[in-house]
């Protein structure tokens, strides 16, 4: 799914299933390394080739995103922080603490803002559930975030498909979308690795 364009074209109308599954998993099942952004943009760009309307893609994306966040919330409410370990590969306590700090700072708005940030959009619902954030408020912010992200990004992709330059350079544009989607993950990875090195150097110096 690092290059979703060809995959979606191969699936045709069945691309809706792939979109629903990926967005659901990324939004709620603690697997943050799926390119939901590039998938939505690609689906919007390629909707005519897929034989799908923008409205149907946006609706499926919205429902999957809302449902995924609900699952994430209930996982957090049920298990709290017990799923996270200091030296885990994915579910690290450091990543959870970063997410909890983000949620503490922005409250319910974090559910909306996190939709546009890889990794955060996976862990913020869990942090909300673990913090026992009021469920009714979570429902509202969840719906707003899914609307702005899943529907908005899909529509943006469809609008870009009408630009001649983009239509003529579709493969390059899709590759650029993938790079932009993955870039925050890479920046976060190298930032944390640099931080660990500094801490190790300080420990050695002491």
Report which of residues 4 and 178 the model is more confident about. 4
* pLDDT confidence of residue 191: 72
| pTM for this entry | 0.74
Percent of the chain with pLDDT over 70: 73
Ranges 3-17, 63-77, 93-107: which has the least confidence: 93-107
pLDDT surpasses 60 at 101: yes
* pLDDT confidence of residue 35: 72
Residue 103 vs residues 117, 128, 129, 174, 193: alpha-carbon distances, Å = 13, 7, 11, 31, 23
Which long-range contacts does 131-134 make (Cβ < 8 Å, 24+ apart)?
A: 131/76, 131/100, 131/103, 132/77, 133/103, 133/107, 133/108
Ranges 117-126, 152-161, 178-187: which has the least confidence: 178-187
* pLDDT confidence of residue 54: 92
List pLDDT tens digits, range 119-135: 778 888 888 888 788 89
How is the chain split into domains, by residue range?
4-205
Structure tokens at 206: 């002491």
Top-ranked range on mean pLDDT: pick from 97-101, 165-169, 170-174:
97-101
* pLDDT confidence of residue 70: 95
Four-point Cα dihedral 47, 54, 34, 170, nearest 10: 40
């Amino acid at each position: 799914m690092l290059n979703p364009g060809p995959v979606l074209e191969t699936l045709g109308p069945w691309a809706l299933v792939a979109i629903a599954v990926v967005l659901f998993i990324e939004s709620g099942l603690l697997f943050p390394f799926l390119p939901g952004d590039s998938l939505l943009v690609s689906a919007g760009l390629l909707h005519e080739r897929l034989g799908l309307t923008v409205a149907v893609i946006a609706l499926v994306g919205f429902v999957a995103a809302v449902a995924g966040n609900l699952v994430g919330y209930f996982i957090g409410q049920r298990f709290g922080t017990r799923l996270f370990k200091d030296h885990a590969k994915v579910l690290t306590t450091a990543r959870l603490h970063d997410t909890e700090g983000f949620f503490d700072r922005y409250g319910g708005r974090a559910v909306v803002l996190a939709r546009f940030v890889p990794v955060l959009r996976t862990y913020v619902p869990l942090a909300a559930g673990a913090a026992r954030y009021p469920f009714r408020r979570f429902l509202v912010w969840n719906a707003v975030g899914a609307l702005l992200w899943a529907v908005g990004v899909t529509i943006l992709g469809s609008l870009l498909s009408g630009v001649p330059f983009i239509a003529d350079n579709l493969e390059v544009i899709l590759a650029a979308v993938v790079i932009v989607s993955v870039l925050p993950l890479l920046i976060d990875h190298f930032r944390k690795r640099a931080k660990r090195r500094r801490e190790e150097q300080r420990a050695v110096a002491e």
